[in-house]
Structure 1
């Protein structure tokens, strides 16, 4: 059974999940080090490790703790990148800590461990938190800092002065010793998010990734995976981690001179103080979760997906409806009449959720004005939103609406009334992006204003879904009114965002929320704990999406991956592709449609209706099943994914042929995750295959020409 065990004599804790174990030890000098992370072992095995591992030799500029400490602090003989760095009131930096105690508790299917340390001289307490679950292999870690001086002492002793927190990572993950190391990460840009990269981690080097934008960002994502350079999709050892934070963040992967490697990470960014910790204050970092896989990157992904569906995403068991979004059909030229017309066409095709995008409020006739004035435009909707919402509901669909609460146009009533509500420095210009400025959500009055108008919008209208957008990163990150600690905005913006979302979900539990940030600019476990899905990318080209989705699913589940079918040629590459190809690309996640339905032919709408019906039949498998990436888009001119229902009853395979040369025919596609003795029927053809044949020989693919695709649905026959 999963849980936490302790050996008092050797001060060893063993955290065990379903199939893995994680061992840590408190040394005689009160340094907390990792001694094991891998397949499941017994506590006696972990204790045995203490006696069999030779102590590291300490040389100049090295320490025996390099690459193994659970949270390397600045101070003493440490020369690597610290995970925790503070400066006290007398300008002394670094920490000398002593162990104060441990507490283990169990609640339901999870177990938690707290290890408390305190500085020898200054009023700082550091608590390391660990949590494991019985129903998975994820280990959650985070750190808590406490200024232990009393806040009522009015600064009488010098030790009651604030403590500058210069860096506060959530955790450092020690990677077991291997001959070599390779790190996988996600990079990209607007329209090309979550591009997968695997690079060697060079000896005696530091590999850093992160975001300085105030949001998770398009160009990097807070996830990593480390292997020895030989792991593949379904073989080899992989150690992986992901941070639950939606603001600026950073990871440092280090390979030390002693051959060890570690990855440390948390919120914040270089060049900025993270926090000023006042007497009596507690400061908590976000969760940094980790997982070990003995069966490659695919198994690690499936562990992450399972974790999200069971412990992160709200109402994850619910099937997400097929969505239509009107943005690319009308852009800012929006009104009750054309939205009703689009809703009629969408309903005829089988769409279940109609979403009206930007342009319904204020003087929002383009992207230069009106943002921040969240009142329905009376010229476009003379009787408010109610008639359109009723028309949508009458056609059997849910109604959704687009908002961008964290932004404001300078040309708006809100900005004219509250120019102090945006991030700014008094002596610097206010840089606009997309004609927008960023509201200072760190301010309590801005956060309250935001909650109130959103609450009123949902309370006064029968809205079922909100698309929450955020189209630009921070600039001029000043908070003139906060003289004591203006840099707290990097933390408080995200915390208040979370608070507003949490309050809205409590007040309106039936409303679903999608996170969007100019595409995939805010995708992480922190935002996923408060939203039902995320917008993967503004790039809806079916071919480009295959690579974006390959990287996305390394850590994030198909159940949260919004994907649209839009018009051909697409607006990014002007690439032409068939409607079926575009549908099959989007059916690999949460199916949505975003084209101008008024320009689709009768034949296209009929084909779309059939494909939507097909998706509804397979979506329990796609949204909740186990994903196998059979062939990545970079593997040649064929890519394919497979979904297996968690009870083994159904299988869905989607394959895309990028190009065909010299009339060649693709070989059978070998499947994974099946019962070799099971029999699987294709309802469309009546063919029956054994699991052994499907896995060892493969299923034939009928693909012809460039940009052709196919979907195969197999149902397991009941054993006789």
Structure 2
């Protein structure tokens, strides 16, 4: 039979692939390279079957040269042979911080992990999965390391699966997701801290010998004081466009722990995973313990390049509907707080249509009857419509919204309970508390025990009942306002499992909700950015960065979040916080998913007119903000003007936001701001948008610039004390 030419070429290609795979198998005992478009993480199997990391950084053209890397470093002796371990065991030869620490069924605390085999497969276009099996040569104990690599985005997700077949339970004392090993002259940690209304405050410092730990023990809202995202710059602090930098994050909403250890060889060991605080885990024979994924990306082109890689990865692979649409909205919270009824809400629904947004969101206060939800001290947990406020129920509001040509969304906080509630009275055993301790409240409430399957069913039922009774319900704002005090589960026999089982319960609920309602938009809210991570965002379309909606503060908060999360995920609302004019507030909120939380009926005529026109403008270019590449042009912590640019993938359109962040006399954009991400050979026009009624632009919208000029010389948006916020739309001239 004669084989057609296209088929011949395919046969040849597969033959070459087979030869390559066979060669790889032969070399497998020596080197395992995880390569993405630009980077490589290279593992080596030593003669004694120890698995070590010999390279992390920019990809080399010749794979065989990775083995030369250890030979060019003349460092102090490694007495243990485990300093560069890919997954460091404890209690045997290791003298440093372990990734895994166990007590075997016979009481032995030592662990040794040796390479057995590995497998690699393609799970999607540009996505590969490597699994490596490690076993203890003495005990029937096994760890599988998984590396999921995303070629185009240079992102790797890493996690471990731990299991054994010993004669009895094994106690896991520590169980990290990932263990990295980096070589550089010095290491600079950029970490974050915060509190309510003060989220994502950055701090950068040089790492010294010993261990620096980033962690949380809050149980819920784990990011409240310290989020699980960080940056490590190599040799010197990276800037926006220069320097080598690693971004790391744990995809987990519960207690986390990131250990950063500069060792005796001056190398950096990074060990990240679930916090083992009060959480030793009894693992039964045959049972698998699966850790959450730890993600990382690396760039030698600075923080901006690393963040664009991570944002692209999030939109394409992790964030729910990351490449889809979002709803603009009007929220009633700051208009009414708990004080509303059907008539007030009917007027707000009309305002929603008048304003021009897609949806009305009913916030806290719509439920509970025996203990009405008229403030935050009662009613939480009793999810029946309040008959006094809403005699005709939620269904009538959904219909009223439809009659006004808008959608309807609703607020819930199903994981929590007020002591003053029917739920607490009927099911005190469902509440996280210790019988021998006084109850201690966070925002007048306690946490429900999601380790209990009955509580999981209850929380799922809160959401399911709303959709069952109101099929046209369009949106859920899911809040979480309490941390865990007096951690104890009446359901669990082993209390050291509590923090882990709580998070497993929450994930069970979210998986079940998404199985039945895969497309409904949901906001991840937590009294601000207290629960923002990719473990949760795979179930949510967006998150609430902070309860602090003062636009000046939000510029700083949103700036820092943007290093790790894409703009489409950031819910930004126009409110009455701050003293800035409505234009400034609206412009800041546009850098993400736009919403309003104002009393529309009290807006001055020109303010209302501005908002209406701004929403139309936003709808014209929101896709560029949501799905384009983000470039930080002028850092508000370093300059009097903050400037951020979004450019579409084709480099034909962009939106540039500029804000005055320093009110001292004479501050302005004295110098041009250099743009990024454009095509130097193309021509562009720049037009100011979002002008307040009665004002005119200082910018000549007819002037044509080359992309080269805009990026090498720059453009002056002419921000002054009289023009504190300037939004510029950039369009290619054909």
TM-score normalised by the chain length of structure 2? 0.91
> Which residue of structure 2 aligns with residue 212 of structure 1?
217
1:428 shift after superposition: 1.3
> Which residue of structure 2 aligns with residue 129 of structure 1?
146
Change (3 A) 1:27 1:53: farther
1:39 shift after superposition: 1.9
1:603 to 2:606 alignment: yes
List per-residue Cα deviations over 1:64-117 (Å, max 9, x = no partner).
432x22211112232221111111233221311232221222222221111111
> Which residue of structure 2 aligns with residue 696 of structure 1?
712
Q: Distance in 2 between matches of 1:521 and 1:662?
A: 37
List per-residue Cα deviations over 1:506-558 (Å, max 9, x = no partner).
21233111111111100001011110000000000000111111211111111
1:690 shift after superposition: 0.8
The residue correspondences of 1:451-462 to structure 2 (distance < 5 A) are 451-461=460-470, 462=472
Query: What secondary structure sits across from 1:238 in the alignment?
Result: strand
> Which residue of structure 2 aligns with residue 36 of structure 1?
55
List per-residue Cα deviations over 1:687-708 (Å, max 9, x = no partner).
3211011111111222221781
1:11 to 2:30 alignment: yes
Does structure 1 conserve the Cα–Cα contact (< 8 Å) formed by 2:634 and 2:673? no
> Which residue of structure 1 aligns with residue 9 of structure 2?
none
1:368 shift after superposition: 1.1
Q: Distance in 2 between matches of 1:56 and 1:699?
A: 49
2:155 to 138, 162, 165: 138
Q: Distance in 2 between matches of 1:394 and 1:299?
A: 46
Change (3 A) 1:680 1:661: same
List per-residue Cα deviations over 1:289-329 (Å, max 9, x = no partner).
11110100111101110010010012111121212111111
2:273 to 266, 269, 286: 266
Q: Distance in 1 between matches of 2:521 and 2:498?
A: 27
1:80 to 2:85 alignment: no
Change (3 A) 1:29 1:53: farther
The residue correspondences of 1:453-602 to structure 2 (distance < 5 A) are 453-461=462-470, 462-483=472-493, 485-567=494-576, 570=577, 575-602=578-605
Q: For structure 1, which segment, 345-354 or 411-420, has the greater mean C-alpha deviation from structure 2 after superposition? A: 345-354
Q: Distance in 2 between matches of 1:553 and 1:532?
A: 16
Q: Distance in 2 between matches of 1:683 and 1:664?
A: 23
Change (3 A) 1:424 1:46: farther
2:684 to 663, 680, 684: 680
> Which residue of structure 2 aligns with residue 167 of structure 1?
174
Q: Distance in 1 between matches of 2:416 and 2:630?
A: 37
> Which residue of structure 2 aligns with residue 155 of structure 1?
none
1:24 shift after superposition: 0.9
The residue correspondences of 1:180-199 to structure 2 (distance < 5 A) are 180-199=186-205
2:119 to 94, 98, 103: 103
Does structure 2 conserve the Cα–Cα contact (< 8 Å) formed by 1:498 and 1:530? no
Query: What secondary structure sits across from 1:634 in the alignment?
Result: coil
1:52 shift after superposition: 3.1
Q: Distance in 1 between matches of 2:92 and 2:146?
A: 23
Does structure 2 conserve the Cα–Cα contact (< 8 Å) formed by 1:659 and 1:707? no
The residue correspondences of 1:650-669 to structure 2 (distance < 5 A) are 650-663=653-666, 665-666=668-669, 667-669=671-673
Does structure 1 conserve the Cα–Cα contact (< 8 Å) formed by 2:640 and 2:668? no
> Which residue of structure 1 aligns with residue 135 of structure 2?
118
Q: Distance in 1 between matches of 2:631 and 2:301?
A: 12
List per-residue Cα deviations over 1:402-433 (Å, max 9, x = no partner).
00000011111111000010112221122112
Query: What secondary structure sits across from 1:117 in the alignment?
Result: strand
Query: What secondary structure sits across from 1:445 in the alignment?
Result: helix
Change (3 A) 1:22 1:206: same
Q: Distance in 2 between matches of 1:365 and 1:116?
A: 56
Unpaired segments ≥5 residues, structure 1: 150-158
Does structure 1 conserve the Cα–Cα contact (< 8 Å) formed by 2:279 and 2:499? no
> Which residue of structure 2 aligns with residue 154 of structure 1?
none
Q: For structure 1, which segment, 516-525 or 592-601, has the greater mean C-alpha deviation from structure 2 after superposition? A: 592-601
List per-residue Cα deviations over 1:256-285 (Å, max 9, x = no partner).
121101211101243x23421011100100
Q: Distance in 1 between matches of 2:296 and 2:496?
A: 29
Query: What secondary structure sits across from 2:130 in the alignment?
Result: strand
1:248 to 2:251 alignment: no
1:47 shift after superposition: 4.3
List per-residue Cα deviations over 1:33-80 (Å, max 9, x = no partner).
111222222453444426734575436xx53432x2221111223222
Does structure 2 conserve the Cα–Cα contact (< 8 Å) formed by 1:181 and 1:200? yes
Does structure 1 conserve the Cα–Cα contact (< 8 Å) formed by 2:433 and 2:439? yes
> Which residue of structure 2 aligns with residue 413 of structure 1?
422
Q: Distance in 2 between matches of 1:241 and 1:530?
A: 21
Change (3 A) 1:551 1:706: farther
Does structure 2 conserve the Cα–Cα contact (< 8 Å) formed by 1:20 and 1:39? yes
Does structure 1 conserve the Cα–Cα contact (< 8 Å) formed by 2:76 and 2:264? no
Q: Distance in 2 between matches of 1:6 and 1:299?
A: 34
> Which residue of structure 1 aligns with residue 617 of structure 2?
614
Q: For structure 1, which segment, 221-230 or 304-313, has the greater mean C-alpha deviation from structure 2 after superposition? A: 221-230
Unpaired segments ≥5 residues, structure 2: 1-12, 689-700
Change (3 A) 1:7 1:601: farther
Q: Distance in 2 between matches of 1:80 and 1:706?
A: 58
1:21 to 19, 23, 40: 40
Q: Distance in 1 between matches of 2:75 and 2:616?
A: 62
1:661 shift after superposition: 4.4
List per-residue Cα deviations over 1:635-655 (Å, max 9, x = no partner).
121111111111212111101
> Which residue of structure 1 aligns with residue 674 of structure 2?
670
Does structure 2 conserve the Cα–Cα contact (< 8 Å) formed by 1:196 and 1:550? no
The residue correspondences of 1:292-441 to structure 2 (distance < 5 A) are 292-362=298-368, 363-441=372-450
Q: Distance in 2 between matches of 1:495 and 1:224?
A: 24
Q: Distance in 2 between matches of 1:664 and 1:50?
A: 51
Q: For structure 1, which segment, 97-106 or 438-447, has the greater mean C-alpha deviation from structure 2 after superposition? A: 97-106
Change (3 A) 1:414 1:440: same
Q: Distance in 1 between matches of 2:139 and 2:515?
A: 41
1:643 to 2:646 alignment: yes
2:106 to 85, 90, 93: 90
Q: Distance in 1 between matches of 2:674 and 2:120?
A: 46
Does structure 1 conserve the Cα–Cα contact (< 8 Å) formed by 2:135 and 2:142? yes
Does structure 2 conserve the Cα–Cα contact (< 8 Å) formed by 1:37 and 1:292? no
Query: What secondary structure sits across from 1:584 in the alignment?
Result: helix
Query: What secondary structure sits across from 2:464 in the alignment?
Result: helix
TM-score normalised by the chain length of structure 1? 0.93
Query: What secondary structure sits across from 1:170 in the alignment?
Result: strand
> Which residue of structure 1 aligns with residue 724 of structure 2?
708
> Which residue of structure 1 aligns with residue 297 of structure 2?
291
1:620 shift after superposition: 0.6
Does structure 2 conserve the Cα–Cα contact (< 8 Å) formed by 1:55 and 1:64? no
Change (3 A) 1:9 1:651: closer
